[in-house]
Amino acid sequence: MTAELLRGHHGAHTHPGQPFYLPTGNEIEVFHAAARRGLPIMLKGPTGCGKTRLVEHMADRLGVPLYTVSCHEDMTAGDLLGRYVLTGGDTEWVDGPLTRAAREGGICYLDEVVEARQDATVAIHSLTDHRRQLSLERLGGQTIPAADGFTLVVSFNPGYQSVLKDLKMSTRQRMVAIELDYPPADLERAIVLREGGTEERLDDLLALAHALRRATDNGLAEVASTRTVVTASQLLAEGLPFDVAAHAAIALPLTDDPELARQLSTLIGSYS
């Protein structure tokens, strides 16, 4: 059944070395169309649902370089655009990832973009409209037109949104949005089997993850993602017992609270 699922989905055919991605909807077609038109893309979805893997897969499909930036609150526009550095007594300009992607026609992927400082997000504006260009003030206002193939991709987790941390509506409306979520049960099983490499206690792992996702009042800030289930499956493939693998990959990363950890331990024990 799993092999049939992998064969039956557009995007499941991968060449050796290509990042594996099993689509759950039309995300590959939408990504392709947006990239062909040079439109920026916004990926929305919970932690560990496959946003980064989709970008890696599409960069390989499109045959373009990928520059991934994990955004954080101390990240500045200079971190994206570039800066002068001292090399061997001389000062020279070094492009940042956004500038390199624009010059080379690659993908610049800003992961969790809402975590970046406002001046960093302002730097992307001229690349998200008809201008498709960068203005580098530190290089005397030099303007760099985006090369063919350049695609700007941003992602964020709507569950973490707040009034203080969100993309401006004027920015969001310039982008093509792709919404992702955890896969349906049959596809998630196929993904975990492919990535984990074993059927050992696979259905129990998935049942545990689904139980955590259904419990909306369990006090956890996050739920068990597809990524955590894959990790637990990989530990099982290395010979760890079910409860040890589930604790290490699912329970302990989700909470530091002793009482919540105890409750998770009890839940895991019900599947052991």
Euclidean distance between CA atoms 38 and 29, whole angstroms: 14
Is the predicted pLDDT of residue 233 greater than 90, yes or no? yes
Residue 16 pLDDT level (bands cut at 50, 70, 90): low
What does the mean pLDDT of the chain come to?
88
Across residues 61-85, what is the average pLDDT? 92
Across residues 212-217, what is the average pLDDT? 79
Residue 211 pLDDT level (bands cut at 50, 70, 90): very high
Residue 220 pLDDT level (bands cut at 50, 70, 90): confident
Q: What is the pLDDT of residue 8?
A: 42
Across residues 56-81, what is the average pLDDT? 94
Is the predicted pLDDT of residue 159 greater than 80, yes or no? no
Is the predicted pLDDT of residue 14 greater than 90, yes or no? no
Euclidean distance between CA atoms 132 and 22, whole angstroms: 31
Q: Is 267 exposed, middle or buried (0-12, 13-18, 19+ CB in 10 A)?
A: middle
Name the more confident of 185 and 161: 185
Is the predicted pLDDT of residue 109 greater than 70, yes or no? yes
Is the predicted pLDDT of residue 1 greater than 60, yes or no? no
> What is the largest distance, in Å, between two alpha-carbon atoms of the chain?
65
From the list 63, 58, 24, 25, the residue with the least C-alpha distance to 41 is 58
- pTM summary value: 0.87
By the 8 A CB rule, do 101 and 123 touch? Answer: no
Euclidean distance between CA atoms 222 and 160, whole angstroms: 10
Residue 242 pLDDT level (bands cut at 50, 70, 90): very high
User: Residues 8-12: contacts with CB within 8 Å, 24+ apart?
Assistant: 9/187, 11/57
In degrees, to the nearest 5, what angle opens at C-alpha 230 toward C-alphas 217 and 244? 75
Range name among 54-63, 123-132, 249-258 with the lowest pLDDT average: 123-132
Q: What is the pLDDT of residue 250?
A: 93
Q: Residue 243, SS3?
A: helix
Is the predicted pLDDT of residue 123 greater than 70, yes or no? yes
| 53: DSSP letter | H
Most confident range, picked from 206-215, 237-246, 252-261: 237-246
- Spatial neighbors of 240 by CB under 8 A, at least 6 apart, are 248
